[in-house]
Amino acid sequence: MRRLEADRFFTSDFNEMTYTKKGLEWVNTTESLKDVFDRHYPEMTDRWMNSESAFSVWDSPPVAKNPIPLYLRVPSS
């Protein structure tokens, strides 16, 4: 957590002067590596990846999408 707090690109320079609108949208909507794959290689994820995580078994059943953004979720435990 300390590294994120010290990273100027994620704190004081996290604005439209540093990032494009599309870049800010990507940062605010990307929750996992699978989201990056979906954005850049949709044909691969449509055909091969059912799981929610790129680090799990790719043909495992998908989990329902959580409508609450990652940064607003309360940790469980």
Contacts of 4 (CB under 8 A, 6+ apart): 10, 11
- Inform me whether the pLDDT recorded for 44 exceeds 80: yes
3-state secondary structure 19-37: CCHHHHHHHHHCCCHHHHH
* Terminal C-alpha separation, the chain: 17
- Split at pLDDT 50, 70, 90, the class of 31 is confident
The pTM of this model reads 0.56
**So what's the pLDDT on residue 77?**
61
Domain ranges within the chain, ordered by starting residue = 1-30, 32-77
**So what's the pLDDT on residue 3?**
83
Dist. CA 50–CA 70, nearest whole Å: 20
Rounded to the nearest angstrom, the gap between the alpha carbon of residue 43 and the centroid of all alpha carbons in its chain is: 18
